[in-house]
Amino acid sequence: MKYVPVPIYNNNKVKAMRSLLSLLLTSCYLTVVHGASGPGLGNLTYSEDELWTPISAVQSSYGHGKVFMVDGYLAVIWDTDGGGSPDIGGLDVWDVSDPYQPVKIKTYDNDETHRFREPHALSLWNRAGQIILVTQSHQGIALFDVTDITNEMPMLAELDLPGIEPADYGGAWWVALQAPYLYVSTVGEGLFVVDVSEPTAPVVLNHLPTGALGGIGPASVFAMGNLLIMAEDEDRGYTTMDIADPVNPVLIQTLDGASGYSHMFAAGKLLSSGGNGDTARMYVHDISHEGLISYAGEAGDDLGNGGYGSYQDGYFISGFSDQVAKFSIIPPLQVGSGTSGRRSRDEDFGQVLGNLIWAGDDHAVGTALIPHQLEPDTKGAEVEWIYPADGASGLPVSTRLGVTMSDEVAIESLLPANFIVRGPDDEVVPGQLSVNMHNVSFSPDVPLAAFTEYEVQICRIEDLVGNVGGCYISNFFTAGASAGPGFTTSVPAPTCSIGPFNPVEVGTPALYRAQTENQPTSYGWDFGDGVILQTEGRATEVMHSTPGRRFVTLTVSNDGGTSRCGAVRIVHAPVTHSPAVSSSSIVTTGRDTFVVNPDNDTVTRFNSDYAKVWEVAVGDNPRTLALAPNGDVWVANEGDSTIAVLSRSGETRQTIALPYGSAPYGIVFGPNGRAAYVTLNASGRLLKLDGSGSILGDLAIGPRPRGIAVSGDSSRILVTRFVSEYADLESVGEVHEVDAASFSQLSSYELNFDVGPDTEDSGRGVPNYLSQVRIAPDGNSAWVPSKKDNIARGRYRSGEDLTYESRTRTIVSQINLLEGIEAWDKRIDFNDRDLAQSLVFTPSGDVFITALLGSNVIEVWDAFDLTRLGMMSVGRAPNGLAMSPDGTRLFVHNYMDRSVTVVDTSGLLNGTVNQPRLVTTVSSVTNEALAPNVLNGKRIFYNAADTRMSRDGYISCASCHLDGGSDQMVWDFTQVGEGLRNTIDLTGRRGTNGGFVHWTANFDEIQDFEHDIRDGFGGSGFMADSDFNAGTRNQPLGDTKAGLSRSLDDLAAYVSSLVTFPDSPYRAADGSLTESGIAGQAVFAARGCARCHAGVDFTDDLTHDVGTQVVASGLGRGVSLDGVGQNTPTLKGLWLSAPYLHHGGAQQLSDVLANPTHMGTGLEEQEKADLISYLLQIE
């Protein structure tokens, strides 16, 4: 062995010399080989041309997140972007000794690795030479032995945490190991404290809900000595807590900081990757050893939404969606950025690896290794910050140590000989060493001695490239067993608790009262809205002037010290005397709950114990229902144009016949009970009915009316236009307002076209599929869930390809009812979600909950600052929501599961929790009407959360064909060898029984949609790759795909089951052709229209060039359409399919008939009118 001089950092020269003498007698000062035995991380010199440019890429089956090195190898977890999938997930081991040519050594892909979720944070524990990985799993945490990672990686344990489920914006989000204690942040479910002292049998020690954490939903969490630091992922909340008692954290401070997707603690600072409402840049906040937070600076420009970061030598490196960036911290300054430049990338993770950056891409297009400095990394891992601070006194005997190193730490160098805590007589304190990237923790195995000086010696810690750090020495002093910061021996420090608080209305007195111990002498109240009071007693009263979810903090003090406590107080605007009502597929009185079963033509009632009381037949395709003042249930049956009136006992009291083909959809009773209102989706009318079903009013409201809302005073009626009119970039969503008294239309509110730009978490587009509208409890705004169609994008329109995350997104829009205009700045663009179709409010209006039909989840949002509070998986295709009058129960209609999920929302009402809790799920259907393969196919059709269907959950078949219909938009499909194409309605077309598929007949079987799924949706596909790539099967019109995938065959079975076209509202009352229609039928025959529009399907299934080609028509099957044209479309259901033609160039049938190439000349005006009448009546 050779002695190597090492620097010692300490201002106390006497102590330093004494410690140096001690170090000479330990292996800490000797050159001891304790690093990794593997090939290590390449540490090369790069040219100017290579700086911030990818030199290589690492590719896995799915996306990447945080990585770690062990035994000289790079370990890369891969999984879906978000909460994970039950049959996906693995870990690749890479040799990165030559960064230009990484070599994959081994892949783990098994039932154990399938428990991984996207890794936001990783902790490593050097447990007496056994290297343990601690990470997040689908429903909690997982521990793996990675000591011999190139040969084996056994799972030691997996622990499901109560209430945690797979979720991309929730679930087990971050882990911070302070062995043997593990802190797990779970966003909506708060914080868990887990004992991992026995790695094969971890145990939950404590669970702190969000209300105990400063009201925040913690995403990032860092345990640094006796200090716990937490931050939200999509909001501005930061919280610090005292963990001198590691199992029972105590609040120190909550601060409204900067909104960032993730955060990193380093060198006494919280570094945020900003975005999600704030400008995307780095934000810096100082964290004192006492846990006090203060703003320090920010830097960065022209960045995408923030991702996840790392730290090295005074620099912060982070992902920002489409690039990674590097910042100096003092002063805050962006110094560089780079990207792989790959299409559809999502470079969320910026992790430093020596002089390289891991530009972690979670979209599975490949992660680049990018040099961020020219020279090799030669700086060792040095101590930059330590808890306790050097010279700190009065510390409890339970104190643990937290250290920020200047670089990521090689776990093999984290040895007892390199991290020493000495007590009296140089006695070494045994303990556990763990690391999270650059943050090191030391936990004594036994409590420290009281009233004792301890010395800390940290030497020769290595970074990932093997650079050896110097030595650091500090000391601290303990006090008594129960002492904390500010310790005195004479008087015990006070404690306090406040809340939970009931919601309070703006402008009314709010009472606050504390429970205390140890006789505080001062009370300092911070009410979270700028109001601060000092009181002598433990009760006070204030009046809040603005609404919001306020975190109230009380600081109590006496001569013995200070402590804090807090709770959430919800302050809301005045609510209307009676709540507004909206049409819905599920309604509840609190005692009884009723739900429609559209495919089974029934309605089900559940009692207060959630037991099924009855299921009774109603009309064809019931869609929504309403509670009448006498307790009856009125059901709108879209398929046969009737309203069924049921008694509470399930008897059919009355069937109200509506006009033929009118297709009633939304139905509500006004809060005053004087009238029912029904939208006629097909005929474009709104009806007003009395309690007997007689029509009191009949108003032409415009095309495709669907959702209805009536204000609490019953004076205002809002009606959505379900399918927005296609008008290119001038397209808008529409909500109409009707005056209830005069039953006349007052105005129409436009939901504007979003002009973008398209980013990883937002995009251009027109609001479409407006199924519901809700009026907020204060009556001042109306909220509309919908999708958003990006018809501005495509190679022809913008020179860009449509991607799975830029094609169609989902949004919630707000209309300011006081000003009569959309509140554009309050529109919410959901990331990784599909088809928001319903929402509800809590009674005070501080929270709204939306159901994402394609994503199989509900999300909880703060209605005041528009931030996500929590989320919860429910059944397939949640299509309707109903809140009990007292707000304690939410009922979710799971359309594709034929069930109702009951959710406990009581904790949301007073802010004690941000996450709803499952009560039960009950079946609503006894005898399923659909064949098993058809039902399964329909479930697949709707399910954007299925990774086979869609990457990141943005899109499914139903996204453009809800209920098998059409969104009536014109899409730019130039990138797939086509052009502008009008979405075709699938209903009535019987799959391929009505002919080849699409305008250019480019699919000859429904199974060919595997191409759209793999290419356009980003899904992995429903066929095995080997089957898909065999023969000519990977080409549309190639070898048949039928019979090779049960799921794909079931999807085809569902699409083929759509055999019936909807009734035409243009026909006579008895369903026959009108006189004009009969005359038009004769014109149709005389003009020879049946030569092409032939047979029962009104198509010859051949292509014809009828003079409708334009430049935007592009190609067909990749070749010119000139002289070829499009496949003859059926004329059935024509009344429902505007705009017309393959490129949507005709808004009216008269525009189609004006084409002389198509129709010839000489058609008289009356003939044209009669022909149009006939065309609109073809069923």
Tell whether 598 and 547 lie within a shared domain.
no
Sign of CA dihedral 1108, 1110, 1112, 1113: positive
Q: 10 pLDDT exceeds 60?
A: no
Q: What is the pLDDT of residue 919?
A: 97
- Of the pLDDT bands very low, low, confident and very high (cuts 50, 70, 90), residue 391 is very high
Tell whether 509 and 600 lie within a shared domain.
no
Asked, for residue 1023, whether it belongs to a domain, the answer is no
Select from 339, 371, 403 the last residue of a domain.
Answer: 371
Tell whether 585 and 565 lie within a shared domain.
no
Q: What is the pLDDT of residue 82?
A: 77
Asked, for residue 802, whether it belongs to a domain, the answer is yes
Asked, for residue 946, whether it belongs to a domain, the answer is no
Residues in the chain: 1179
**What is the rounded distance in angstroms from the CA atom of residue 1169 to the CA atom of residue 926?**
49
Asked, for residue 833, whether it belongs to a domain, the answer is yes
- CA nearest neighbour of 906 among 881, 884, 923, 877: 884
Q: In what order do the strands lie in the sheet with 439-444?
A: 155-160, 140-145, 130-136, 123-127, 431-436, 439-444, 401-405, 383-387
- CA nearest neighbour of 531 among 564, 563, 571: 571
Select from 572, 605, 624 the last residue of a domain.
Answer: 572
Whether residue 323 contacts residue 357, with contact meaning beta carbons closer than 8 Å, is answered with no
Q: What is the pLDDT of residues 797-843, one digit of tens each?
A: 999 999 999 999 999 999 999 999 999 999 999 999 999 999 999 99
Q: Range with the lowest mean pLDDT among 4-13, 99-108, 462-471, 668-677?
A: 4-13
Asked, for residue 255, whether it belongs to a domain, the answer is yes
Tell whether 546 and 595 lie within a shared domain.
no
Select from 519, 551, 572 the last residue of a domain.
Answer: 572
Q: How many CB atoms lie within 10 A of CB 935?
A: 19
Structure tokens at 1073: 């052709």
Asked, for residue 649, whether it belongs to a domain, the answer is yes
CATH number at residue 514: 2.60.40.10
Q: What is the pLDDT of residues 976-1027, one digit of tens each?
A: 999 999 999 999 999 988 778 999 999 999 999 999 999 999 999 999 999 9
Who's near 94: CB < 8 A, 6+ residues apart?
58, 73, 74, 75, 76, 102, 103, 104, 105
Q: Percent of the chain scored above 70 by pLDDT?
A: 96
Q: 528 pLDDT exceeds 80?
A: yes
Q: 37 pLDDT exceeds 60?
A: yes
CATH number at residue 1153: 1.10.760.10
Asked, for residue 969, whether it belongs to a domain, the answer is no
This prediction's pTM: 0.92
| Average pLDDT score over residue span 281-305 | 94
| Average pLDDT score over residue span 540-556 | 94
Tell whether 458 and 506 lie within a shared domain.
no
Bridge partners of 516, per DSSP, are 496
Cα end-to-end distance, the chain, whole Å? 92
Tell whether 413 and 545 lie within a shared domain.
no
Q: Which residue has the tokens 């490196």?
A: 317
Q: What is the pLDDT of residues 718-768, one digit of tens each?
A: 999 999 999 998 999 999 999 999 999 999 999 999 999 998 889 999 999
- CA nearest neighbour of 121 among 218, 51, 254: 218
Q: What is the pLDDT of residues 115-173, one digit of tens each?
A: 999 999 999 999 999 999 999 999 999 999 999 999 999 999 999 999 998 888 889 99
Q: What is the pLDDT of residues 75-86, one digit of tens each?
A: 999 998 877 778
| Average pLDDT score over residue span 662-669 | 98
Could you list the residue range(s) of the whole structural domain that residue 505 is in?
495-572
Tell whether 211 and 259 lie within a shared domain.
yes
Whether residue 25 contacts residue 340, with contact meaning beta carbons closer than 8 Å, is answered with no
Q: 6 pLDDT exceeds 60?
A: no
Tell whether 156 and 233 lie within a shared domain.
yes
Tell whether 671 and 790 lie within a shared domain.
yes
Across 937-1018, the runs of DSSP E, i.e. the strands, are 970-972, 980-982
Q: Is the pLDDT higher at 11 or at 876?
A: 876
H/E element, 1150: helix 1149-1153
| Average pLDDT score over residue span 55-69 | 94
Q: What is the pLDDT of residues 418-427, one digit of tens each?
A: 999 999 999 9
Asked, for residue 423, whether it belongs to a domain, the answer is yes
Q: 948 pLDDT exceeds 90?
A: yes
CATH number at residue 449: 2.60.40.1220
- CA nearest neighbour of 911 among 497, 504, 538: 504
Computed over every residue of the chain, the mean pLDDT equals 93
Q: What is the pLDDT of residues 697-721, one digit of tens each?
A: 999 999 999 999 999 999 999 999 9
Whether residue 263 contacts residue 271, with contact meaning beta carbons closer than 8 Å, is answered with yes
Q: In what order do the strands lie in the sheet with 495-498?
A: 495-498, 509-517, 539-543
Q: Range with the lowest mean pLDDT among 19-28, 391-400, 685-694?
A: 19-28
**What is the rounded distance in angstroms from the CA atom of residue 113 to the CA atom of residue 153?**
9
Q: 356 pLDDT exceeds 70?
A: yes
Q: 5 pLDDT exceeds 90?
A: no
DSSP per-residue codes, 775-822: E-TTSSEEEEEEEEE-TT-STTTTS----TTTSEEEEEEEEETTTTEE
Q: What is the CA radius of gyration of the chain?
A: 33
Tell whether 452 and 503 lie within a shared domain.
no
Q: How many structural domains comprise the chain?
A: 5
Tell whether 170 and 78 lie within a shared domain.
yes
- Angle in degrees, 0-180, between the axes of helices 932-942 and 1046-1056, rounded to the nearest 10: 90
Kindly provide the b/e burial profile for residues 167-181, where b requires at least 16 CB atoms within 10 angstroms of the residue's own CB. Answer: bbbbbbbbbbbbbbb
Tell whether 667 and 761 lie within a shared domain.
yes
- Of the pLDDT bands very low, low, confident and very high (cuts 50, 70, 90), residue 652 is very high
